[in-house]
Amino acid sequence: MVREQFQMLINGQWIDAKSGKTFESINPATEQVWGEFPFADANDVDDAVRSAHAAFESDEWRLMTASQRGKLLRKLGDLVGENKEKLAQLESKDNGKLIRETLGQVGYLPEFFYYYAGLADKVEGETLSLDKPDLFGYTVREPLGVIAGIIPWNSPLYLTAIKIAPALATGNTVVLKPSEHASATLLELGKLALEAGFPAGALNVITGYGLPCGDALTRHPLVKKIAFTGGSESAKHVIRNSAENYAKLSLELGGKSPNIIFNDADIDSAVNGAVAGIFAAAGQSCVSGSRLLVQEDIYEEFVTRLTERAERIVVGDPSHIETEMGPMATASQLAIVERFVDVALTEGAKLRTGGKRADIQSGWFYTPTILECNSNNDTLMQEEVFGPVAAVIPFKDEAEALAMANDSKYGLAAGIWTQNLAKAHRMIKGIRSGIVWVNTYRAVSASAPIGGYGQSGYGRECGIDSINEFTQIKTVWINTSSEPMADPFIMR
């Protein structure tokens, strides 16, 4: 098989790693190596960060008006839309995500660039109401400087767009590090950013592993903020590294999100919501509805219907439009899924369906799996699997559902299925998570903040809040008195 060769983007130039080393990317559906990428180390990271820093300090970027930056972002959004097919196919090949999912996700991506393009020239400070008659005060929101974007493999383009659009809109410059398992589309995005007219160095893309590349990037003294999406263990390293450069941090980590189905729910809708929650993206989504809490009087009916639908899911080649579930993105993710299912069975969970690799010759495919758990303390109810494994458990009443939902170290998302408006509101109020979906699941929008409670991370992406994440406040004091400033050592 022909291997595609990639270079990385530093200061507007396409280059190899200084060491000349490369690493391979494997197509999860075929297990064939298809691409080769520069293996960036601390030297390359230093070049990339310095290039972003120089761009940040340059007159071209510093003096560019916010509306001009907005125009560049709008152009980038247009280019992403025009290149939708190519980007969608590349992402599907690199991480095994379904083409029908990547087409949908990339097709919607321009909206994120347009949203922040529109916001760019609406970032404003405030006039302060000071308790000092001769002083006038106001605030301005200013960019931070170089932003490090650390991206995982599950939805690289989407998770990048929601970082770079607000970062660039507010006048920062960026060094992106894609996951070693899915680098290709971010390099394409780098190409489109240059084509859109962003100056050299405003957006750099370096390819490499967490160690040494991500590590060197997140501890670099010129990095002012780290926007990280990934796993909890890597996040701990990143938090420690941020102490080296006092960088601001936003962390979007894992979840064990409860999808709660009440006995008065529209069952057809709830089954579809449960399927979307756990089997979309083969469960490799931070907001997966991986804990299914079902009220006891509809429990058997619901689980039977869910099982029937799960068994009809078409697992296979992600590049075919009719396929409904693709492979695990990496061999290690497949091993993680297998391990969790083994642990669940050892702990006494009952297997309703799945629980094994799919019967497909090559590729890291797993079957849609439903396991009935005995207690919310079971490993499968508490730990993130990041695969197509639904942990199901019955509950008696609202109070028990809420207690189980909140008995988690995570708090990223939650789903509530009920026709009772008052009950939905009580649950919304009680649930500790950054997102609550009522009678729907996995909806996203550029204007809707995403982020977690607890160990799901902190900081918010998307929405107006994200502007605050990428800016800092300068407070300005102006003396308006006609009198000279008094000598501070003379008491009056």
41 binds ligand TXE (CB under 6 A): no
Please select the residue that binds ligand TXE; options are 146, 247, 270, 286, rule is CB under 6 A. Answer: 286
Strands 203-205 and 413-417: unpaired
Coil, helix or strand for 400?
Answer: helix
The answer to whether residues 73 and 116 touch, using CB atoms and an 8 Å cutoff, is yes
Question: 355 or 434, CB closer to ligand TXE?
Answer: 434
Q: How far is the CB of 339 from ligand TXE (least distance, A)?
A: 11
254 binds ligand TXE (CB under 6 A): yes
Alpha helical stretches, state H, 255-312: 267-279, 296-311
95 binds ligand TXE (CB under 6 A): no
Q: How far is the CB of 387 from ligand TXE (least distance, A)?
A: 8
CA-wise closest residue to 390 among 486, 268, 256, 492: 256
Q: How far is the CB of 208 from ligand TXE (least distance, A)?
A: 7
305-334 binders of ligand TXE (CB under 6 A): 333
Q: How far is the CB of 36 from ligand TXE (least distance, A)?
A: 17
Measured over the CA atoms of residue 297, residue 300, residue 305 and residue 310, the dihedral's sign is: positive
Task: Please report, in angstroms and rounded to a whole number, the separation of the first and last CA atoms in the chain.
Answer: 86
Segment interacting with ligand TXE (CB under 6 A) among 81-89, 104-112, 248-256, 463-471: 248-256
Q: C-alpha distances in angstroms, 317 versus 85, 209, 364, 380, 413?
A: 17, 27, 11, 28, 29
Q: Is 252 a catalytic residue?
A: yes
180 binds ligand TXE (CB under 6 A): yes
Query: 144-156 burial, b if ≥16 CB within 10 A, otherwise e?
Result: bbbbbbbbbbbbb
Which residue of the set 252, 324, 383, 384 is catalytic? Answer: 252
142-161 binders of ligand TXE (CB under 6 A): 150-154
Question: 231 or 430, CB closer to ligand TXE?
Answer: 231
Question: 232 or 269, CB closer to ligand TXE?
Answer: 232
Query: 386-413 burial, b if ≥16 CB within 10 A, otherwise e?
Result: bbbbbbbbbbeebeebbebbbebebbbb
Residue whose entry in the numeric block shows the structure tokens 């298809």: 34
Q: How far is the CB of 218 from ligand TXE (least distance, A)?
A: 5
Q: How far is the CB of 155 from ligand TXE (least distance, A)?
A: 7
Q: How far is the CB of 436 from ligand TXE (least distance, A)?
A: 18
Please select the residue that binds ligand TXE; options are 44, 47, 252, 324, rule is CB under 6 A. Answer: 252
Question: 65 or 332, CB closer to ligand TXE?
Answer: 332
Q: How far apart are CA 371 and CA 380, in angstroms?
A: 9
238 binds ligand TXE (CB under 6 A): yes
Please select the residue that binds ligand TXE; options are 214, 283, 289, 459, rule is CB under 6 A. Answer: 214
Beta strands in 156-255 (DSSP E): 173-177, 203-205, 223-229, 248-252
Please select the residue that binds ligand TXE; options are 83, 95, 173, 218, rule is CB under 6 A. Answer: 218
Kindly report the backbone phi and psi dihedral angles of residue 170, in degrees, each rounded to the nearest multiple of 5, phi listed first.
-95, 5
Ramachandran region, residue 160 (left: φ > 0; alpha: ψ -120 to 50; beta: rest): alpha
Residue whose entry in the numeric block shows the structure tokens 């996995």: 442
Q: Across-strand partners of 135? A: 479
Please select the residue that binds ligand TXE; options are 49, 55, 161, 253, rule is CB under 6 A. Answer: 253
Segment interacting with ligand TXE (CB under 6 A) among 214-222, 395-403, 415-423, 438-446: 214-222
25 binds ligand TXE (CB under 6 A): no
Helix then strand then coil, in percent of the chain rounded to 5, is 40, 20, 35
Strands 13-15 and 8-10: antiparallel
Please select the residue that binds ligand TXE; options are 110, 145, 210, 411, rule is CB under 6 A. Answer: 210
Q: How far is the CB of 229 from ligand TXE (least distance, A)?
A: 5
Coil, helix or strand for 245?
Answer: helix
183 binds ligand TXE (CB under 6 A): no
Active site residues: 252
| Residues that bind ligand TXE in the complex, under the rule CB under 6 A | 150-154, 177, 179-180, 209-211, 214-215, 218, 229-231, 234, 237-238, 252-254, 286, 333, 336, 384, 386
